[in-house]
Amino acid sequence: MNRKLYSKLIFDHSRAGRRGFDLPRYQRDDSLSTLPSQLMREEAPLLPEVDEPTVVRHYTNQSTNNFGVDTGFYPLGSCTMKYNPKLNDALAADRVIAGLHPRQPMQTVQGALEIYWTLQRSLSEIGGMAEFTLNPFAGAHGELTGLMVIHAYHDSRNDPARTRVIVPDSAHGTNPASAAVAGYEVVEVKSLPDGTVDVDDLRAKLDHTIAAVMMTNPNMVGMFEKHIPEIAEAVHGAGALLYYDGANLNPMLGVARPGDMGFDVMHINLHKTFSTPHGGGGPGAGPVGVRKGLEQFLPNPRVVRRDDGTFTVEQNNDCALGRISSWLGNYTVFVRALAYILTLGAEGVAQVGPLATLNANYVLNALKDRYLLPIPGPCKHEFVFDGLIDKSTGVTTLNIAKRLLDMGFHAPTIYFPLLFHESLMIEPTETESRETLDAFIEAMRQIADEAAENPEIVRTAPHDTPAVHPDDTEAALHPTVKYADLCDRPTT
Ligand SMILES: *Cc1c(COP(=O)(O)O)cnc(C)c1O
């Protein structure tokens, strides 16, 4: 039986009374229970009744149905799905590190606090910032924290008129969302045909009501914003602060620092650039850095080094934000990030950005005769095609993405950014070999050939995956999460 079919049929193996184990029957003593009787189950739950080999095969097969960066190339634009060295996972799982308790006395966790403090210093160096907090749990959480810092700064200057935040139309969706959650009105600024921010449009929108301008650089189409010094001057001249969305800091490593470009506040996604595997919602970390003069607004608590070289956790000063996370954030993510930085060393870290950029341009150049490149290269770490050049075949970006699955590759990011109709956003990262990139290029070229010669095969793809054409909307609106529901519904 093929794997696909096997996974699908597994619950049909259920037979009343079939068991993988046999335990003595439990005699329920209701008098010992603290559960109110109306909450107690009257009947046994409806679960598949199967033998142990069937259960083991079911879950083992399920575990291989997922695509991960450990199973293949994952060119998902804007996500930096690079390979994360196993050494860093092993360290994070070490009993001594994973077994710590947040309420342990300070003198027993000096090593952990040193890891925390050293990472704060390393990120400050990498970002060109004065100070970092590691507390936020994700990129979006970092954005919110950064905007709260900006809010606290304007409050400290008795400047309550600043109620709006400028966000480019190409920004990641979390930018306007974070600004709205932080209580700001969002003002959109346009992009030019080359994908960079329209500086004239930006200037026209800068006034005394603007608290901050959020920028991503390289931006969401993989282009470097060349006018940053000019933008920084205009933003500061209007009394606003400049925020750097560094979720995707990868291309900048070893090349440039946001602090040097004039950014005041930034966040970094450790789960993209700094070696924490991601996807599926966590765990992650979105540390926030600030330039000199804004340190006092960072959230509590903070890890500091005392003059005698020991470390402690402080709740200090009046202007600091309160807690934005439980304890000090996602500690094992920090362990991975610091291990990654220390194993690469300054020299290795400095190669990440240039190699990520080289790989992206290699793929771009090998495909631009078949795929439409609306913004000419060279790009930074990623680039966007607007579907195939030949639109007459009717083959869409969705079809191309699905056909790639048949060929053993994860799909690129599709239909984002919203600047083009058929966006196909590719980010190869620095960790892929020339051979892997060549195989991907060959697959993409084959799809272009198929689209011309036999478009049906692309339009009906994928042909070889456990799920073929799930209804995304239906799955989001009515997720099937219970076995009992699965029994009443046909599965795809
Ligand atoms: C991934 C990403 C984010 C959001 O990060 P999360 O950790 O998913 O909240 C924000 N901005 C950019 C540019 C990103 O790529």
Burial level of 95, CB count in 10 A (0-12/13-18/19+)? Answer: exposed
Q: Select from 174, 178, 204 the least CA-distant residue to 189.
A: 204
> Is the pLDDT at 241 greater than 70, yes or no?
yes
Q: What percent of the chain has pLDDT over 90?
A: 71
pLDDT for 490: 47
Of 174, 221, 273, 384, the one to substitute when testing ligand 1's pocket (max ligand atoms within 8 A of C-beta) is: 174
pLDDT for 9: 58
Whose Cα sits closest to atom 4 in ligand 1?
139
Question: How far is it, in rounded angstroms, from Cα 154 to Cα 136?
Answer: 21
Helix/strand/coil for 150: helix
The dihedrals phi and psi of 303, each to the nearest 5 degrees, come to: -95, 125
Of 172, 267, 270, 272, the one to substitute when testing ligand 1's pocket (max ligand atoms within 8 A of C-beta) is: 172
> Is the pLDDT at 4 greater than 50, yes or no?
no
Q: What percent of the chain has pLDDT over 70?
A: 95
Q: Is 284 in the pocket of ligand 1 (CB under 6 A)?
A: yes
pLDDT for 7: 47
Q: What is the pLDDT of residues 426-485, one digit of tens each?
A: 999 999 999 999 999 999 999 999 999 999 999 999 998 877 888 889 888 988 777 666
Q: Is 248 in the pocket of ligand 1 (CB under 6 A)?
A: yes
Q: What is the pLDDT of residues 43-59, one digit of tens each?
A: 887 778 888 888 888 88
- Asked whether the bond before 462 is cis by omega within 30 degrees of 0, the reply is yes
What is the model's pTM? 0.88
Contact 194, 222 (CB under 8 A): no
Q: Select from 422, 403, 353 the least CA-distant residue to 381.
A: 353
- Asked whether the bond before 283 is cis by omega within 30 degrees of 0, the reply is yes
Question: How far is it, in rounded angstroms, from Cα 342 to Cα 349?
Answer: 9
Burial level of 16, CB count in 10 A (0-12/13-18/19+)? Answer: exposed
- pLDDT confidence band for 10 (50 / 70 / 90): low
pLDDT for 338: 98
Average pLDDT over residues 115-142: 97
What is the bridge-based pairing of β-strands 185-189 and 164-168? Answer: parallel
Whose Cα sits closest to atom 2 in ligand 1?
247
pLDDT for 6: 47
Q: Select from 346, 347, 336, 314 the least CA-distant residue to 119.
A: 336
Contacts 24+ apart (CB under 8 A), 88-95: 88/275, 88/335, 88/336, 88/339, 88/340, 88/343, 89/277, 89/336, 91/335, 91/336, 91/339, 92/332, 92/333, 92/335, 92/336, 92/339, 93/332
Whose Cα sits closest to atom 15 in ligand 1?
78
> Is the pLDDT at 491 greater than 70, yes or no?
no
Q: What is the pLDDT of residues 251-306, one digit of tens each?
A: 999 899 999 999 999 999 999 999 998 877 778 999 999 999 999 999 999 999 99
Q: What is the pLDDT of residues 306-354, one digit of tens each?
A: 999 999 999 877 788 999 998 899 999 999 999 999 999 999 999 999 9
Q: What is the pLDDT of residues 64-82, one digit of tens each?
A: 888 889 889 999 998 999 9
Neighbours of 417 (CB within 10 A): 22
> Is the pLDDT at 492 greater than 70, yes or no?
no
* DSSP secondary structure letter of residue 486: H
Q: What is the pLDDT of residues 389-423, one digit of tens each?
A: 999 999 999 999 999 999 999 999 999 888 899 99
